[in-house]
Amino acid sequence: MDKYVLPKDNLSKFVSEMIGKYKVFAPVNDNNVTLFKQIKNPKEINLEFTNSKVPPKNLLFCQTETLFKFTPGTKGKIHPVDFDNGGRTVFGIRPCDAKSLAILDRVFKGDFEDPYYLTKRKNTILVGLSCTQPCLNCFCTSFNDSPASPEFVDILLTDIGDKYFVEVNSDKGKQLVKTMNKLFKSATEADGKKKKEVEKKAKDIITRFQKIDGITEKLDKIFENPFWETVANKCLGCGTCTYLCPTCHCFDIQDETTMTDGGRVRIWDTCMISEYTLQASGYNPRPARMNRVRNRVYHKYNYYPKNFEVIACVGCGRCIDSCPVNIDIIDVVTRAGEVKP
């Protein structure tokens, strides 16, 4: 892995050069909430953020996306949409959210490749930013991940004082640095050591821990356990946990029309509402909140590992931060591990 340093004075130039070449998305302050948005000027970036309220998965798997347009009716016609083939950069993505994209890739690839997600994914460079101030409910270390891991980004910046330590992790990253090599300097051993210190300090800030050893196998044994009723009792079914989850990928498809135009639209959906599985006959395989809460946990900790050999949680803590009734996935999974089958 190539290593450089980027003097802080050069950061704005680095971002400006990217803005000249790509659509650049970065954390910005929007009504006191940090969100990833397209920026036109490096000054818009909020570097003091912990993590964004909404994960940046929405830049690739859009909250709402038109799959194609059509002339509605029984004599209708289909009008394909053009794919946005332009280069994109996500600046400031956290290592956990970058991992979530590697998790989502498994769903959107496969036998039927999803061109909407994959076109954007292919054209996106991830410029990660290590966490130096993990949040109260961060637990990426429970998955043996690090708040300063370059594993899932193209290049990773880590704030080591007056400069950023830069780790280049892919050809895309190499290419990016190469085109702006005047801004970067080679890293010294001391810089590398400093990065390790920063990483250790960040890891030490993380106090929450989820016990996941053997959880997939354990869940196989406690599907019918009354434990799930106790977990679901206080759930309001609002779906916030799923909308803000960087690995949730469920969606709805709806036709939206006027008299003369229409579009088939994909919209984020949530497995926490009963309509999600309600069949036209009136039958519902997941009629109760318990079924839905249990499905959410199983999807991430049992079904996903069975299908893709990875737990579909990155430990970002957003579902805990935003749950209106304090349902805590760390606590739920840890307790599930302790339930007697």
Partner 1 sequence: MNNNPYQPWLATIDDIKEEVGGERAIKTFKLVFQDKNIQNNFTYLPGQCAMVSLLGKGECFFAISSSPTKKDYIEVSVMKLGKVTSALHECELGDVVGVRGPYGNYFDVKGWQGKNLVFIGGGIGQAPLRSLINYVVDNRRNYGKLDVIYGARSSKDLSYKQEFAELEKRKDVNVHLSVDVEEDGWKKFVGFVPTNLLRVKPSPKNTIAITCGPPIMIKFVIQNLEKLGFTEDQIFTTLEMRMKCGIGKCGRCNIGNLYVCKDGPVFSYKQLKSLQGER
Residue 309 lies near partner 1 (rule: CB under 8 A): no
Q: Which is nearer to partner 1, 9 or 220 (by Cβ)?
A: 220
Exposure on the CB side of residue 129, measured as CA atoms within 13 A: 22
First-residue to last-residue Cα distance in the chain: 46
Residue 254 lies near partner 1 (rule: CB under 8 A): yes
Q: Looking at 2, 30, 105, 114, which residue binds partner 1 (CB under 8 A)?
A: 114
- Which region among 32-40, 43-51, 62-70, 93-101 touches partner 1 (by CB under 8 A)? 62-70
Tokens read off for 325? 């009734």
Nearest CA to 268 out of 248, 282, 288, 286 is that of: 248
Residue 122 lies near partner 1 (rule: CB under 8 A): no
Q: In whole angstroms, what is the distance from residue 60 CA to residue 50 CA?
A: 21
DSSP label at residue 83: P
Q: Looking at 249, 289, 300, 318, which residue binds partner 1 (CB under 8 A)?
A: 249
Size of the site for partner 1 (CB under 8 A): 54
Q: Looking at 71, 175, 230, 233, which residue binds partner 1 (CB under 8 A)?
A: 71
Which residue's structure tokens are 């708040």? Answer: 147
Residue 74 lies near partner 1 (rule: CB under 8 A): yes
Residue 82, CA distances (Å) to 24, 87, 116 in order = 20, 15, 10
Residue 110 lies near partner 1 (rule: CB under 8 A): yes
Question: Contact 148/219 with Cβ under 8 angstroms?
Answer: no
- Which region among 39-47, 157-165, 195-203, 251-259 touches partner 1 (by CB under 8 A)? 251-259
Residue 85 lies near partner 1 (rule: CB under 8 A): no
The three-state secondary structure class of 211 is coil
Residue 250 lies near partner 1 (rule: CB under 8 A): yes
Q: Which is nearer to partner 1, 31 or 260 (by Cβ)?
A: 260
Q: In whole angstroms, what is the distance from residue 38 CA to residue 120 CA?
A: 14
DSSP state letters, 101-134: HHHHHHHHSSSS--HHHHHHHHTEEEEEE--SS-
- Which region among 39-47, 93-101, 103-111, 166-174 touches partner 1 (by CB under 8 A)? 103-111
Tokens read off for 171? 């050809």
CB of residue 305 vs partner 1: minimum separation in angstroms? 9
Residue 341 lies near partner 1 (rule: CB under 8 A): no
250-253, Cβ contacts within 8 angstroms, sequence gap of 24 or more: 250/276, 251/61, 253/67
CB of residue 159 vs partner 1: minimum separation in angstroms? 37
| Per-residue contact string for residues 272-301; x = within reach of partner 1 by CB under 8 A | ----xxxxxx-x-xx----x---x--xx--
Nearest CA to 300 out of 230, 245, 252 is that of: 245
CB of residue 53 vs partner 1: minimum separation in angstroms? 23
Exposure on the CB side of residue 339, measured as CA atoms within 13 A: 23
Residue 307 lies near partner 1 (rule: CB under 8 A): yes
Nearest CA to 73 out of 255, 253, 254 is that of: 255
CB of residue 290 vs partner 1: minimum separation in angstroms? 10
Question: Contact 6/166 with Cβ under 8 angstroms?
Answer: yes
Residue 262 lies near partner 1 (rule: CB under 8 A): yes
The three-state secondary structure class of 260 is coil
Q: Which is nearer to partner 1, 97 or 269 (by Cβ)?
A: 269
Which residue's structure tokens are 């869940």? Answer: 219
Q: Looking at 8, 203, 264, 335, which residue binds partner 1 (CB under 8 A)?
A: 264
- Which region among 27-35, 146-154, 244-252, 320-328 touches partner 1 (by CB under 8 A)? 244-252
Binding site for partner 1 (CB under 8 A): 67-68, 70-78, 80, 107-108, 110-116, 220, 223, 249-255, 257, 262, 264, 266, 269, 271, 276-281, 283, 285-286, 291, 295, 298-299, 302-304, 306-307
